[in-house]
Structure 1
Amino acid sequence: MTKKPENVIVGVSIGDLNGIGSEVILKTFQDNRMLDFCTPVIFGNVKILSFIKKALGINCSVFGIDSMDQLVHGKLNVLNVWKEGVNIEFGKNDEEVGKYAIQSFTTAVAALKEKHIDVLVTAPINKYNIQSDDFKFPGHTDYLDKELEGDALMLMVQDNLRVGLLTDHIPVNEVSKHLTEDLIRTKILTVNKSLKQDFRINKPKIAVLGVNPHSGDNGVIGHEDDAVVKPALKQLFEEGVLVFGPFSADSFFGTGQYENYDAVIAAYHDQGLIPFKTLSFGKGVNYTAGLDGIRTSPDHGTAYEIAGKGTADHNSFKEAVYLAIDVFKHREEYTIMNKNPLKTKEKQL
């Protein structure tokens, strides 16, 4: 039996308290209609959230709980992950605040693993101030890849525009070192499965962008496309994966070619995210595909420059909540549709 929409439990990690994370969270759930879609629980501290909503003039009721057993449907729950106060200085890069961001995040991930929440939506963190002896990860995705089963892949989503990455948070001068046929194969199979399982697309078509300008121009501008990318794509296509390319990245989005595919795979971070953020108009969502848990986040950072001013746009965060719920429901449907009744009967015997 599938869950009713309002009973889908959406866990929210608080992010950097000096950034715009709390603002976009509170603005999203200020609309009580959101509680018809899910039961949210913020991993943080109810006194701090109350202070922030008052400071920003956000009319939003929060309900403090000390354990998940106290969760109440129809309310914006705040699980008190810590009791002490935190010094909030909007716009300031603060290592102490970074510790609370990670405490919120790791507690929420544990709740996701233990099935206390159905999905996780993460508010933005500062990748610099979160580093410590206990947390040595570039960001959310790498930690999730360690804690959850599967192969994590950053997939940026806005309606039918989906952009994935072969490599993500690595320097540009290291991209070619990381690109192997095995990596390309793993990433494309991850996207292919996600499109079927998470987006309910039966026969997904995937486009892959070239690593070099003009996809290398037959080796004149780099060898990676001919020597690594093309053989990997050829093998996958022969196995029945509808993957095409490599396409010249400079004209692919401007000519509208992306509209012919269910997902586009870029070789590196900016190759994919610059066109995505240009086209998504502030409503893009970062989805971590390939894991057995569901996690989304807005497509922006802490935005210290506008933190505390009450001007942050919450649409990307709201879309992240919607997408997490949609993926949860799609996975439930996918599991039911692909369930083998004979195996189920064998287990019962």
Structure 2
Amino acid sequence: VMLRLLALFLLSSSVLSSPLTEYENELKKEGLDVEKIHKLLKEESDEVEEEFGNAEAQAEIEHMRALYTTSCPVNETLLPVKTELDINGDATKDLFEGDIELTPEQWKIALDKDPNNPMQRRQALTSAVKMWQPMGAPVIPYSFEPGFPRDKLQVIYDSIKFWEQRTCIRFRPATSADRAFVSFNHNSDRCSSAVGRSGYKQMVNLGPGCHSVTIVAHELEHAFGALHVQSRSDRDNYVIIDFANIKSGTEHNFQRDPPYGDVLSTYGIPYEFGSMQHYPEWAFAISNRPTIYTKPAYSQYQYSLEGPRATFYDTLLVNKMYKCTDRCQNRLSCQNNGVQDGSDCNKCFCPRGWA
């Protein structure tokens, strides 16, 4: 495995058959062979599919399929709401989990699977995620790529305001002295972001269809360092993945962190089916059947995977990641499952519907 990974850091002399994306060019500049990444991802996907093609796994999936169709038939009259996965389409081939642009160091960990379990990474990917500084009061400089549409600016400002009102993260316009900053980019065919602080200019790509507060806030949370919920180490306690219904070559997007990555993977936060960072039930599906089934004990959440906005736990995750309340001199005792507000130490932040 390690020999294959080391090969990623050798410059390729081959020429790709299709034009390189800006992200692929950046990877090549860092010494990564993009073709080898695609090849290794395909190999990992094949191994995952083989591992979960056994009779026991298939019997469980057949049971879930029957349960799904009898409990709630698909409503063909509903208009689908497009997510970043829908918008990205074929662009997901060189993105991690559909909308994340990894650094070379992060790609190395993402591709290094557990030899005894192809569904599990050997090391928690969160171990290679760098945070914005200072902890407890991080500041993220931002800019816009030249020509960014004026009529799309308010969506960005509203998304920034959303996070500033709920966490200790603050944004400010970037200056020439800033080496690390995010740049909102409209010249793209995708909705995507780096995960965490890259240490240099990093794009929040917002191509056609990506200019909504839901998607921008989603990509910003990746830029803060958050990964998707279904890649948590405890994922299999809550959902079942139907690998037979996943598009060939994309199975690797359903890998999870190892159990010893629990602290970094979950931050002690409950598994949330309706999180803005959870895959929808049909992610990477071949047919209109789900690729993700909630386990029977959680069947009431089957039709609410990936909520349309950041939830209480999405926000709490960011506050825990950045230790937002550690700076608070006073400790509040909050009712109704509330917690001390990451943005204002003198307030409680409560689940929606409570105060």
User: Is TM more than 0.5 here?
Assistant: no
Q: TM-score, normalised by structure 2?
A: 0.27
Q: Which has the higher contact order (CA 8 A, sep 6+)?
A: 1
Q: TM-score, normalised by structure 1?
A: 0.27
